[in-house]
Amino acid sequence: MKNKKVYISPVVKGVHVLLPASYQSAPSLKDYEVKEELNKIDEDKKNAEIKVREDAAYRSGRLDAEKSYERELKEMKSRSASLAGMFQEAIKHFIEKRDKLLEECEPEIIKLIITIASRIVGYEIDKNSIKVLQNVLKDALSFTKEKKIIAIRLSCDDAKKMKESEGIKIADQDVKFIEDNTISPGGCVIDTNFGSIDSRIETRWEEITKAFSENINDKPEH
């Protein structure tokens, strides 16, 4: 059986035209709306896929950033701990050096202090000799207690000054001030019936120096 051609008869402005059956008519409004809807669905799908990829990239980037931050923070803490350790070690080393230096220089420092103090005392003796001598005598007399005072030996200048001034009042005792060239200004020696009380300036400095030296020698070794 031979194939037959089938024709359709569309109406074009009132005229019937025979066309092949394969002819496709122009798309209708409904077909256009369907196509637009499909395009919109496809676009939404693409946008959704893009958003998914963006969200995944954001999460991945955020995780990477957090890991990087944590790593840097850990490294910073490690460096800070290391620096703190170095700082503490430096302080410890400095303290050890300081203590050693002070220990080595202590005798010289004490000598310097005593020298400065002796000069200050010497200055006070020159400017206020009577007042200084009265204080020295009061201190020395505190050691006599019930002893009988025979004489008080002073430097020549101090003996003259004490004789000229009211001096020190000693109850029930007739005290003599004797000039002694071996005694320097500001000091005295009190002779009693039980011996002498040495309150010379030189003797006092010797006692002070000895006390400092004993204090140094008694320090425990590190």
Cα–Cα–Cα angle for 50, 51, 53, rounded to 5 degrees:
65
State the pLDDT at residue 153.
92
State the pLDDT at residue 7.
44
- Computed over every residue of the chain, the mean pLDDT equals 76
Query: Is the pLDDT score of 178 beyond 70?
Result: yes
* Two tokens, residue 142: 């505190």
β partners of residue 40: none
**Mean pLDDT on 35-45:** 76
Beta strand 149-154 pairing with 177-179: parallel
In terms of pLDDT, which residue wins out, 139 or 2?
Answer: 139
Compute the distance between CA of residue 188 and CA of residue 136 in angstroms, rounded to an integer.
Answer: 8
Phi first, then psi: what are they for 134, rounded to 5°?
Answer: -60, -40
State the pLDDT at residue 179.
92
**Mean pLDDT on 159-172:** 70
State the pLDDT at residue 154.
92
**Mean pLDDT on 148-156:** 89
Query: Is the pLDDT score of 189 beyond 90?
Result: yes
Q: Which of 10-14, 155-159, 213-217 has the lowest mean pLDDT?
A: 10-14
